[in-house]
Structure 1
Amino acid sequence: MTNQEQSTVGARCQLRRPIRVGVIGVGNMGQHHTRVLGLLKDVELVGISDVNVERGIDTAAKYRVKFFENYLDLLPYVDAICLAVPTRLHYKVGMDCLQAGIHTLIEKPIAATISEAESLVNAAAEHNCILQVGHIERFNPAFQELSKVLKTEEILALDAHRMSPYSQRANDVSVVLDLMIHDIDLLLELAAAPVVKLTASGNRASADSNYLDYVTATLGFSNGVVATLTASKVTHCKIRRLAAHCKNSLTEADFLNNEILIHRQTTANYITDHGQVLYRQDGLIEKVHTSNIEPLHAELEHFVHCVRGGDQPSVGGEQALKALRLASLIEQMALDGQIWQQSDWNYQYLNTPLSTVSR
């Protein structure tokens, strides 16, 4: 066998080698990452790390992988990392992973501040690493089908509701960064135009709370689409809905029940010989069938595909940074009660790509 043939065989073997993945942070979301990674084809779940040693050891034993008390000790053994630590730690841990040349999936939001997010995006480019951010609703089958439906519709307005009862989970950020940021990302994708106007208001569950627990915002886009977002941590039921008001239809997506309904106006009269209307149809409701794939499964499959093939993720650092910029502005507007319009400096801040990233 020639040297060239040996090199080709070696490259093919390397291509077939499972992607070695680790999980840092095995709390509520990290537990699910660990579970799904253990099910994926061509993936080797190498190990996990968590500051809670007892929880980490228990999780490692459950999935028969190695536990690393210090996450830095895990990095030499993996090609990619799923990062599910508290938001305030996204920057520190994420930078350590990217600077080590490790492809990284960071749970949303990408970071606690705009400057931290920009640094992470730059680090990924500098070290030629995949950086994906866990905006999981992009992979929800209901959103996937909604996007297809709306490609043939003229959108007039978008309306998103994301409500939850109070929980101790993710209590280190406001409802904007915890819940609303999901819909911010979805609306930016669907509207596909710059934001030119914004109003927002919000409230806290208690006077001594450090963060907003209920926020509503109204956005105006340069293409004329208007959007309303409402997010709550103090609603006594769980709601995940997005409605698209279009010129010829109303399309409603229920992300919890994985259901899409399309309402169309079609008036038809059925008349007897004597001129009496026996039946009148004023509207038609279509139900769109969606797949049953778990969104996290689809998200992690996409991440592994990007790591293996070098493709850019559908929700990379740039997209996540854009969502974080808008979320931060909404949060500030809700606190101040001000109205922002395109003439303000924020227009360029929201809609200018990060110029320091190599393309």
Structure 2
Amino acid sequence: MNPRIGVVGAGHFGRFHALKLRGRGLSGLHDPDAARAARVAEEAGCPVLDLPGLLAASDALVVATPTVHHAAVASAALRAGRHVLVEKPIAATLAEANALVALAAAQGRVLMVGQIERHSAAIRTLRAECAGRRLGHVEAVRVAPFRPRSLDVSVVLDLMIHDLDLILALADSPLDSVAAVGGRAVSDNTDWAVAHLGFASGMRATVTASRLAVGLERRLRAMGPEGELRVDFLARSLEFVAPGGAAPMEHLPGWGIERRSWTDHDSLEAEHDAFRAAIAGARPYEADGQAGRAALDAALRVEAALAG
């Protein structure tokens, strides 16, 4: 049986969640902006409910409010015995994140964080290619043109957190050191940032994020003793230069290039499918509360380095 899932928040991401859930167990929508809630609810074909009414009508909630409200809404849902998918970042502070993780465990409920990239075909391909490889340095770039949304948080919590989450998974090692540069340009929060990360394993990473770019750019390079991996996420291309690669390289005897691609799928739908599977008992599941907490911790350490 499909769980009944309600959505809290009718903004940019909340609307996407509601439309994706239409006809698939969407129980209702809540947003303090009545006019906005009515517009999105009409699109999604669901009722507008107050929060207690939405909790009563639902088995689970998607929390897509501004970040400052994540902890309060997710806590209310967990205390009511509901499963929760909360948009990233998991909370505004590490203390709030810790409390949510502890509460979900105490209640025996799913707490999933909307690190949607974990459900993308691109990241699944990349993680499969990197499995078992020794990485020395990873470079990630994620830049986009300015859009007047998500300005309640910095570019670190808006964009960079996706790559921080990925790099934490690739490193599989404690984050030892963080240095960063960045600045404001068009908002009250940091609009561009470059972070340098060091891990206990010896791996290093450089992560660049900006919401001031002329166009979209998303790429990653991973280097290590086994070769170099280059990924262009927009071009859906992955190249691995390594000993014995399928396409020999004249200037590097014994080495060659392996090329991969992938077929994109609907990452939000994949995220919802994973949420339903977790509710049904699938373990482990992607982007659980601990993973969301780790990504937030890394992002806040980057912000502290920026401020320091």
Corresponding letter in the other structure for 1:329: R
**The 10-residue stretch of structure 1 (54-63 or 166-175) with the greater mean CA deviation from structure 2:** 54-63
Partners of 1:205 and 1:94 in 2: CA distance: 32
* Contact residue 131 and residue 313 of structure 1 kept, 8 A: no
Distance 2:65 2:75 in 1: 13
Q: Please, which of 61, 71, 82 is the counterpart of residue 91 of structure 1?
A: 71
81 and 255 in structure 1: CA distance in 2 versus 1, 3 angstrom threshold:
farther
1:18 aligns with 2:11: no
1:193 aligned onto 2:173: yes
Work out which of the residue numbers 295, 298, 306 in structure 2 matches 1:323.
295
How far apart, CA to CA, are the structure 2 residues paired with 1:111 and 1:83? Answer: 11
Matches for 1:224-239 after TM superposition, within 5 Å:
224-239=202-217
Aligned counterpart, 2:201: 223
For residue 47 of structure 2, the aligned residue among 52, 66, 90 is 66
Aligned pair partner of 1:158 in 114, 121, 138: 138
Q: Distance in 2 between matches of 1:297 and 1:259?
A: 23
Aligned residue type for 2:4: R
Secondary structure of 1:66's match?
coil
**Cα shift at 1:213:** 1.0
List per-residue Cα deviations over 1:289-340 (Å, max 9, x = no partner). Answer: 323221111111101100012534221111111111121111011121xxxx
Query: Within the alignment, does 1:302 sit opposite 2:282 as a pair?
Result: no
CA deviation after TM superposition for structure 1 residue 252, in Å = 2.1
Partner amino acid, structure 1, of 2:34: V
Mapping for residues 240-259 of structure 1, pairs under 5 Å = 240-259=218-237
Runs (5+) with no aligned partner, structure 2: none
8 Å contact kept, 2:22–2:45:
no
Q: Distance in 2 between matches of 1:280 and 1:122?
A: 56
Structure with the greater alpha carbon radius of gyration? 1
> So what's the TM-score if we normalise by structure 2?
0.92
The structure 2 residue matched to 1:29, chosen from 1, 8, 13, is 13
RMSD of aligned Cα (Å): 2.2
The DSSP-based 3-state class of the residue aligned with 2:136 is strand
Structure 1 residue 51 displacement after superposition = 2.1
Kindly provide the amino acid, as one letter, of the partner of residue 108 in structure 1. K
Aligned to 1:355: none
Aligned amino acid, residue 168 of structure 1: P
Q: Does 1:286 align with 2:262?
A: no
C-alpha change, 1:98 and 1:256, in structure 2 (3 Å) is farther
Contact 2:144–2:217 (CA under 8 A) maintained in structure 1: yes
1:257/1:65 CA distance change after superposition, 3 Å: farther
Give the letter aligned to residue 283 of structure 2.
Answer: D
Report the Cα offset of residue 78 of structure 1.
0.8
Q: Which runs of 5+ in 1 are unaligned?
A: 1-16, 271-278, 337-359
SS at match of 1:59: helix
Q: Secondary structure at the match of 1:256?
A: coil
Alignment match, 1:54: 35
Other-structure match for 1:118: 98
1:197 Cα offset (Å): 2.1
Question: Contact conserved, 1:49 with 1:71, CA < 8 A, in 2?
Answer: yes
In structure 1, distance between residues paired with 2:81 and 2:236: 37
Q: 1:263 aligns with which of 241, 248, 251?
A: 241
